[in-house]
Copies of this chain bind each other. A is one copy, B any other.
Amino acid sequence: MGKSRLEAFSDGVLAIIITIMVLELKVPQGGELAALGPLIPVFLSYILSFVYIGIYWNNHHHMLHATQVVSGRILWANLHLLFWLSLVPFATGWMGENHFAPVPTALYGVPLLMAALAYRLLQQPILAKHGRDSALGLAVGRDLKGKLSLLAYVMAIPAAFVSPWIAHAVYVGVALAWLVPDRRIENVLARRAQ
């Protein structure tokens, strides 16, 4: 079973998700600078979500690069991940249009949390197929960053009801932690090539 169509389909869906989000930036009526004012929170939400989808694309790219075999279970685990990511544009729009109100801010964490769980569910059968001492297995290791991200989302969602700004700080912080591309796989592959 080739992985090329899995990559192509995922690339397509992620490309559309990232581009559909920009449709929430609705062209305002007036032509003055002031007309852009109410769009600022929507724009900030867009930036955050763009970075998140970019992170997922990047890590997905690395993980599948190290994958050799694709099974039916991996195909569905991948679709499950894409499902939660497909809800990011909706959560982004709702949070932005309500100027970072508590409930939409909390809800924004839900697809992030679920996508993080889905990513782990996708990683599992791939790791199982390739073994703990494959390039991917060594690179992921105990996956501390993945586990801490899950914990961060779980805490950010209720914290949004105390103050949305705590949740925003967590969302931005987790994104920054992942923005550093996942060099673990690159490193292991490079070490092996020596």
Interface on A for B, CB 8 Å cutoff?
1-2, 5, 7-9, 11-20, 22-25, 27-28, 30-33, 36, 47, 50, 54, 57-58, 61, 65, 72-73, 75-76, 79, 82-83, 86-87, 89-90, 93-94, 97-98, 101-104, 107, 179, 181-183, 186
Contacts and interface: CB of A to CB of B under 8 A. Distances in A.
Q: Is the interface of A mostly helix, strand, loop or mixed?
A: helix
A72 B181 contact: yes
A76 B61 contact: no
A57 B9 contact: yes
As for how many copies of this chain the complex holds, the number is 4
B11 A86 contact: no
A89 B2 contact: no
Given A14-B9, A31-B98, A72 B22 contact: no
A81 to B, nearest CB: 12
Nearest to A28: B94
Contact of A61 (B22, B25, B75): B75
Contacts of A50: 79, 83, 86
B18 A20 contact: no
B76 A54 contact: yes
Nearest to A17: B19
B103 A27 contact: no
B76 A179 contact: yes
Nearest to A58: B75
Contacts of A90: 22, 25, 27
